[in-house]
């Protein structure tokens, strides 16, 4: 068995956890969540959610991972072997997500090259869906592989492999120590450039003008909690794995606050940058805001290229701005996908003792083969279905189970008593209440309201066969695989040392 | 379409900036101070 690696510095750990949390979703999910849920008024439930769910669960994962000194599978297995399947299920999420996430990062890589000539032309929407993605009629209409997408995805897989195979201190820490600060600098530059454009105030008014009547709507609170929860990379084995590599005497509580607040600060900054550019486009072209403001990948690959081409600066200035924007996407995506690799690698190595290099080589090859499915004409449809089911159900259910198992069965008090003497400042009994009652109640409500909506109308108007195969099939297949794998005999050493208590 | 920032939007902008960046600055300052104290104790 390999000797357990360790973070070299506190800054390296924080840059890596922030790098894991800040991803592509920060650019295109938060700004539209706010826009659709009360504008500036959304900040109130968002901030409450940050303090009552984001920070408490981050402390729980940091504390539990650090105490057990092992990644998700064996961390849950140490409570009792019967809970090991939760750890397996947690790492299934990044395994599935990274297969399409790497393809989206590959889109950013392609666009980085297109930036030199602004290859998207006068109609970036038609270019993106047509010439670039070649979007087919539906999820069963594959139309062959798009080679430029496949090559870009291969490069992304290779970069992930390159850093992950070097482990925590020589790979991920080294990468995130330059990637996360670089991302912060790029985001600040964007926000400043965006805010100084004519029409930026119009975009900011759309983004931030508060509609306080929406605060009384429970769905707005659900949206705020799900945004905080999904955005901070909780319940997918990443933070438990990362914390397990911290030296014995390490702060846990303050690191959790810094990670969650950094991620939310990126969210807010992205909102300012995105909406000021959208305001500029709306003002310049006279197109109504509602037609420009499309959530999801369209904001990065359609609206932003359009905005860049309209920037009041020489062509080379626009090129530099485009290069910075797609570099930011690339860096945000890779630092997140590295954490997905690590969630899987740490958990399997801890459980089976497999050699890291051998494990990651097999994982990268098989994962890349699955990625190729998303580089076909049907890729976007399949990606949309898989992402919806994994995101809406997988992560929420896992967060709910984690809060129940760690909060009630293992005991939130034990984690609190463990983290307090190590940390810059302690947490009180209020933290137990948040972990044991508030978080499970809110996530339970979130799951139920999503399920009810699902049965009322099939997601996205896709054929039921595609929903069953790529949606429910993937989601339930992950659960079945987790239960099966948890019943296989494990490496004795994995449970030999720091047994529960 | 061109207009200035509405007072209510400006208030929410200030609210977000103060809470998020103020909070982040506070926690980073605490961390730096504690690390300095640890270094002073030779830990």
Tell how far CA A81 is from the center of its chain: 28
Q: Which chain A residues contact residue B9 at CB under 8 A?
A: 39-40, 204-205, 207-210
Q: Which residues pair with A145 in a beta bridge?
A: A376
Given a cut of 70, is residue A58 above it in pLDDT? yes
Nearest beta carbon to residue B8 from set A201, A209, A257: A209
Burial category of A117 from C-beta neighbours within 10 Å (exposed 0-12, middle 13-18, buried 19 and up): exposed
- d(CA A374, CA A376) in angstroms, rounded, equals 5
State how far residue A47 is from chain B, nearest Cα, in angstroms: 8
Would you call A283 and B1 a contact, using CB atoms and an 8 Å cutoff?
yes
Q: Which chain A residues contact residue B30 at CB under 8 A?
A: 254, 424-425
Nearest beta carbon to residue B16 from set A43, A202, A258: A43
State how far residue B32 is from chain A, nearest Cα, in angstroms: 10
Tokens of A327: 């570099």
**pLDDT the model gives residue A500:** 43
Tell how far CA A325 is from the center of its chain: 19
Q: What is the mean pLDDT of chain B?
A: 91
Would you call A201 and B3 a contact, using CB atoms and an 8 Å cutoff?
yes
Given a cut of 60, is residue A501 above it in pLDDT? no
Alpha-carbon dihedral sign for residues A225, A230, A231, A233: positive
Digit-coded pLDDT (tens) for A99-123: 999 999 999 999 999 999 999 999 9
Q: Which among A14, A47, A58 has a CA at the least distance from the CA of A402?
A: A58
State how far residue A20 is from chain B, nearest Cα, in angstroms: 17
> CA nearest B43 in A: which residue?
A249
- The pTM for the full model equals 0.94
Would you call A204 and B9 a contact, using CB atoms and an 8 Å cutoff?
yes
Size of interface A-B (CB pairs under 8 A): 84
DSSP letter (8 states) at residue A405? I
Digit-coded pLDDT (tens) for A124-143: 999 999 999 999 999 999 99
State how far residue B40 is from chain A, nearest Cα, in angstroms: 15
Mean pLDDT of A395-415: 95
**pLDDT the model gives residue A390:** 85
Of chain A, the percentage scoring pLDDT greater than 70 comes to 97
Would you call A199 and B30 a contact, using CB atoms and an 8 Å cutoff?
no
**pLDDT the model gives residue A335:** 97
Residue A141 in contact with residue A371, Cβ under 8 Å? no
Q: For chain B, give percent helix, strand, coil, nearest 5.
A: 80, 0, 20
Would you call A254 and B34 a contact, using CB atoms and an 8 Å cutoff?
yes
Residue A84 in contact with residue A237, Cβ under 8 Å? no
Mean pLDDT of A344-361: 96
**pLDDT the model gives residue A499:** 45
Residues of A with CB under 8 A from a CB of B: 10, 39-41, 43, 47, 198-199, 201-202, 204-205, 207-210, 249, 251, 254-255, 257-258, 261-262, 264-265, 268, 272, 282-283, 286, 424-425
Give strand ranges (E) for A33-137.
none
Nearest beta carbon to residue A424 from set B11, B13, B31: B31
- d(CA A463, CA A192) in angstroms, rounded, equals 44
Report the SS3 class of residue A384.
Answer: helix
Residue A73 in contact with residue A84, Cβ under 8 Å? yes
Most A-contacting residue of B6, B11, B20 (CB-CB within 10 A), to test interface: B20
Mean pLDDT of A70-99: 96
Given a cut of 80, is residue A432 above it in pLDDT? yes
Burial category of A203 from C-beta neighbours within 10 Å (exposed 0-12, middle 13-18, buried 19 and up): buried
> CA nearest A14 in B: which residue?
B28
Residue A344: φ, ψ to 5°: -70, -50
- d(CA A194, CA A129) in angstroms, rounded, equals 26
Tokens of A36: 């659709």
Q: Which among A274, A333, A353 has a CA at the least distance from the CA of A100?
A: A333
Would you call B24 and A258 a contact, using CB atoms and an 8 Å cutoff?
yes
Would you call B3 and A202 a contact, using CB atoms and an 8 Å cutoff?
yes
Nearest beta carbon to residue B13 from set A204, A258, A425: A204
DSSP letter (8 states) at residue A497? S
DSSP letter (8 states) at residue A376? B
How large is the C-alpha radius of gyration of chain B?
18
Tell how far CA A204 is from the center of its chain: 25
């Amino acid at each position: 068995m390999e000797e357990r690696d360790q973070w070299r510095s506190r800054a390296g750990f924080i840059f890596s956890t922030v790098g894991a949390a800040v991803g592509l979703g920060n650019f295109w999910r938060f700004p539209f969540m706010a826009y659709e849920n009360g504008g500036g008024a959304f900040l109130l439930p968002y901030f409450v959610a940050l303090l009552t769910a984001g920070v408490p669960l981050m402390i729980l994962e940091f504390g539990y991972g650090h105490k057990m000194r092992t990644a998700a599978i064996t961390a849950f297995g140490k409570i009792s072997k019967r809970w090991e399947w939760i750890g397996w299920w947690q790492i299934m999420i990044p395994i599935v997500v990274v297969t399409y996430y790497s393809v989206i990062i590959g889109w950013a890589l392609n666009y980085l090259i297109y930036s030199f000539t602004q290859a998207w032309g006068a109609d970036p929407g038609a270019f993106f869906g047509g010439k670039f993605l070649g979007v087919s009629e539906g999820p069963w209409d594959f139309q062959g592989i798009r080679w430029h997408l496949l090559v870009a995805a291969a490069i992304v897989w290779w970069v992930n492999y390159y850093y992950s195979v070097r482990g925590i201190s020589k790979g991920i820490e080294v990468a995130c120590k330059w990637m996360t600060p670089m991302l912060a600098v790029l985001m600040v530059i964007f926000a400043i450039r965006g805010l100084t454009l004519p029409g930026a105030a119009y975009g900011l008014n759309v983004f931030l003008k508060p509609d306080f009547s929406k605060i009384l709507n429970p769905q707005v609170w659900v949206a705020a909690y799900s945004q905080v929860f999904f955005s901070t990379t909780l319940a997918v084995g990443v933070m438990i794995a990362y914390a397990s590599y911290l030296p014995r005497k390490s702060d846990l509580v303050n690191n959790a606050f810094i990670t969650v607040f950094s991620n939310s600060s990126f969210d807010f900054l992205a909102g300012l940058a995105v909406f000021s550019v959208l305001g500029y486009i709306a003002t310049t072209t006279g197109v109504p805001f509602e037609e420009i403001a499309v959530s999801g990948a369209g904001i990065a690959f359609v609206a932003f290229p359009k905005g860049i081409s309209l920037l009041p600066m020489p062509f080379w200035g626009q090129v530099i701005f485009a290069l910075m924007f797609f570099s930011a996407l690339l860096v945000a995506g890779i630092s997140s996908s590295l954490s997905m690799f690590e969630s899987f690698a740490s958990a399997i190595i801890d459980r089976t003792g497999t050699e890291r290099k051998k494990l990651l080589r097999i994982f990268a090859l098989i994962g890349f083969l699955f990625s190729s499915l998303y580089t076909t004409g049907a890729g976007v449809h399949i990606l949309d279905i898989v992402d919806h089911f994994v995101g809406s159900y997988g992560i929420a259910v896992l967060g709910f189970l984690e809060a129940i198992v760690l909060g009630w069965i293992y005991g939130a008090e034990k984690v609190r008593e463990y983290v307090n003497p190590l940390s810059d400042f302690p947490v009180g009994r209020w933290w137990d209440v948040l972990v044991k009652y508030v978080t499970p109640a809110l996530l339970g409500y979130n799951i139920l309201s999503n399920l009810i909506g699902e049965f009322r109308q099939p997601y996205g108007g896709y054929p039921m066969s595609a929903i069953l195969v790529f949606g429910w099939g993937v989601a339930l297949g992950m659960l079945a695989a987790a239960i099966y794998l948890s019943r296989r005999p494990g490496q004795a050493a994995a449970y030999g040392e720091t047994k529960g208590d | 379409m061109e207009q200035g920032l509405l007072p209510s939007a400006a208030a929410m902008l200030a609210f977000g900036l103060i809470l998020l960046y103020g909070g982040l600055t506070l926690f980073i300052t605490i961390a730096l101070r504690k690390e300095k104290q640890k270094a002073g104790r030779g830990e």
